[in-house]
């Protein structure tokens, strides 16, 4: 039995796949604890999970697009979040004495604490922003990100000149995608592309299942957490999406995930809900209209559901390009697509069987990749490969007393 400490961003798209991996490890007899906000984590990881609470604070600058979004991500979220939670992570390592830290790719406090205490760490990549290497031909951007990481490294009192790339564990990187999605990208041997981690989530909210008409096709519209960060733009997109679906009531039903007031008077064939039981609903869908977040994309494709993607920021254009290249969806412009254009795209993925065939091909690739069970297996293999002395000694002894 081993102990794992999970340090994950306080976002559902990052918590959910990590929680699936954690459940698999727990089912194998290991102990798991978390560092994070009780309010954000507890509904997704359950009431009995061990937690070292951090509290929560707002982070600005998350509504940007293009390269500005990368700048704001690092300056307004990744770096201040690392500084904010590092003291709690350090306390958790000292008190919990984990054998391995499992760290979100942008939760760098977990890496800093692991390195300070001489512990191995595993990277979880819940987005494509780093794993797809979009900055490989942008040396100035790479250098700028490296500079920010170096500053955090120095602030943590770690030795100059010994810093690894904090985004990629030298031991094991787990990405929740599959090679069928990443195309010609080449990854080191210690990168495990396991597909989406969907198992063991808490039961979703209630849904009017009797409302679903078996004689009509079903289209989901969601922009995920981007609705919180881009409220005005998202409301406008939802209105255009409903405008696209409005004339199709004789053959289509729409499910819109958004604030109840986003569409104050929807037609009878469209339901608007702030939350839905997404994993239970997905197999009943015929198409998904979304922003292109990796979790939503992979959840749809894992059920063989084709997509219409309106990417807005960060890794979403990467995911959209991968879906289009695989033949499993159509890309539209988030800010400019008209209701008529969006309707044409939706009808294309509904009526052209090639999109569903491609989506089902990706579903098979995701299933073969192994998901959360394969991620847990790879983490256990990492433990088996550790020097025997490291596994036998208590953590506090390995890290000089845990202080």
pLDDT tens digit string along 113-126?
Answer: 999 999 999 999 99
- The answer to the question of residue 203 being in a domain is no
Spatial contact of 339 and 243, defined as CB atoms under 8 Å apart: yes
Residues 222 and 74 in one domain: no
Same domain, 392 and 345: no
pLDDT on residue 375:
97
Instruction: Give the whole-angstrom CA distance, residue 290 versus residue 223.
Output: 5
- Using 50, 70 and 90 to split pLDDT, how confident is the model at 315? confident
Shared-domain flag, residues 180 and 246: no
Q: Is 21 inside a domain boundary?
A: yes
Residue 308 lies in a domain: yes
* Residue 327: how many other CB atoms lie within 10 Å: 15
Domain, as residue range, for 191: 3-195+370-398
The two tokens of residue 110 are: 């977990």
**Pair 296, 376 in one domain:** no
* Cross-strand bridge partners of residue 53: 36
Predicted local distance difference test score (pLDDT) of residue 166: 96
| CA dist., res. 2 & res. 25, Å (int) | 9
Please indicate, yes or no, whether residues 332 and 239 belong to a single structural domain of this protein.
Answer: yes
Taking the C-alpha atoms of residue 121 and residue 311, their distance in angstroms, rounded to an integer, is 32
Q: In terms of domains, do 316 and 338 share one? A: yes
Read off the pLDDT band of 133 (50, 70, 90).
confident
Low-confidence winner among 98-102, 150-154, 312-316 (lowest mean pLDDT): 312-316
Q: Which run of H or of E encompasses 217?
A: strand 217-222
Mean pLDDT score, 59-71: 65
In terms of domains, do 388 and 359 share one? Answer: no
Query: Is the pLDDT score of 261 beyond 60?
Result: yes
160 occurs within a structural domain = yes
* Structural domain includes residue 403: no
The two tokens of residue 334 are 């988030």
pLDDT of amino acid 224: 76
44 and 191 fall within a common domain: yes
Q: What value does the CA radius of gyration of the chain take, rounded to a whole number of Å?
A: 21
Question: What are 170-212's pLDDT values in tens digits?
Answer: 999 999 999 999 888 889 999 999 999 987 777 778 899 999 9
Q: What is the pLDDT of residues 223-260, one digit of tens each?
A: 876 544 544 456 789 999 999 999 999 999 999 998 87
Between CA 226 and CA 143 the distance in angstroms is: 28
Same domain, 163 and 252: no
**260 is written with which tokens?**
């109840």
- Please report, for the domain that includes residue 239, its CATH number: 3.40.50.2000
Q: Are residues 110 and 231 in the same domain?
A: no
Pinpoint the alpha helices (H) of 284-352: 294-302, 316-326, 339-351
Q: How far apart are CA 5 and CA 89, in angstroms?
A: 9
Asked, for residue 243, whether it belongs to a domain, the answer is yes
The number of folded domains in the chain is: 2
- Domain match, 183 and 299 both: no
**What tokens does 51 get?**
């937690």
- Could you read off the pLDDT of 344-362 as tens digits, one per residue? 999 999 999 999 999 999 9
Residue 265 lies in a domain: yes
| 302 within some domain | yes
User: What pTM, to 2 d.p., does this model score?
Assistant: 0.88
As a whole number of angstroms, the distance between CA 311 and CA 59 comes to 22
pLDDT at 62: 52
Q: 3-class DSSP state for residue 252?
A: strand
Question: How far apart (Å, rounded) are the C-alpha atoms in residues 297 and 309?
Answer: 9
Task: Phi first, then psi: give them for residue 93, nearest 5 degrees.
Answer: -60, -45
- pLDDT tops 70 at residue 374: yes
On the CB side of 131, CA atoms within 13 Å amount to 33
Looking at residue 402, its pLDDT comes to 38
Helix (H) or strand (E) holding 175: strand 172-175
Confidence class for position 388, pLDDT limits 50, 70, 90 = low
Backbone angle region of 287, left / alpha / beta, with phi > 0 → left and psi within -120 to 50 → alpha: beta
Residues in the chain: 403
- Read off the tokens for 20: 């699936």
Tokens encoding 194: 């396991």
pLDDT score of 271: 95
Q: How far apart are the first and last CA of the chain?
A: 24
The yes-or-no verdict on residue 298 having pLDDT over 90 is yes
In a shared domain, residues 309 and 389: no
């Amino acid at each position: 039995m081993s102990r794992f400490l999970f340090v994950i961003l306080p976002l559902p798209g990052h918590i959910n796949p990590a929680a699936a991996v954690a459940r698999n490890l727990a089912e194998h007899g290991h102990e798991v604890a978390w560092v994070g906000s009780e309010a954000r984590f507890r509904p997704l990881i359950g009431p009995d999970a061990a937690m070292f609470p951090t509290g929560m604070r707002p982070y600005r600058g998350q509504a940007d697009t293009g390269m500005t979004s990368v700048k704001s991500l690092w300056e307004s979220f990744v770096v201040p979040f690392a500084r904010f939670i590092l003291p709690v992570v350090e306390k958790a390592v000292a008190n919990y004495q984990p054998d391995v830290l499992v760290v979100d790719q942008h939760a760098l406090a977990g890496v800093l604490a692991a390195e300070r205490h001489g512990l191995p760490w595993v990277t979880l990549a819940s987005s494509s922003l780093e794993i797809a290497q979009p900055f490989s031909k942008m040396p100035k951007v790479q250098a700028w990100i490296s500079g920010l990481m170096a500053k955090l490294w120095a602030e943590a009192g770690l030795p100059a000149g010994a810093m690894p790339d904090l985004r990629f564990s030298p031991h094991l990187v787990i990405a929740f995608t599959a090679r069928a999605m990443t195309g010609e990208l080449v990854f080191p041997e210690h990168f495990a592309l396991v597909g989406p981690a969907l198992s063991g989530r808490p039961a979703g909210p209630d849904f009017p299942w009797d409302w679903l008409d078996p004689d009509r096709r079903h289209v989901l519209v969601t922009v995920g957490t981007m609705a919180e960060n881009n409220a005005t733009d998202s409301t406008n997109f939802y209105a255009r999406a409903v405008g696209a679906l409005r004339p199709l009531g004789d053959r289509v039903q729409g499910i819109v995930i958004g604030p109840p007031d986003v569409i104050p008077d929807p037609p009878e064939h469209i339901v608007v809900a702030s939350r839905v039981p997404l994993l239970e609903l997905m197999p009943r869908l015929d198409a998904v209209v979304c922003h292109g977040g990796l979790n939503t994309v992979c959840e749809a494709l894992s059920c063989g559901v084709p997509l219409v993607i309106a990417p807005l920021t960060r890794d979403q254009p990467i995911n959209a390009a991968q879906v289009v290249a695989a033949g499993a969806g159509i890309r539209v412009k988030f800010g400019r697509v008209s209701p008529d254009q969006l309707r044409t795209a939706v009808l294309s993925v509904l009526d052209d069987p090639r999109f569903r065939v491609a989506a089902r091909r990706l579903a098979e690739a995701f299933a073969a990749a192994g998901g959360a069970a394969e991620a847990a297996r790879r983490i256990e293999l990492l433990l088996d490969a550790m020097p025997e002395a490291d596994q036998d000694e208590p953590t506090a002894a390995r890290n000089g007393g845990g202080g």
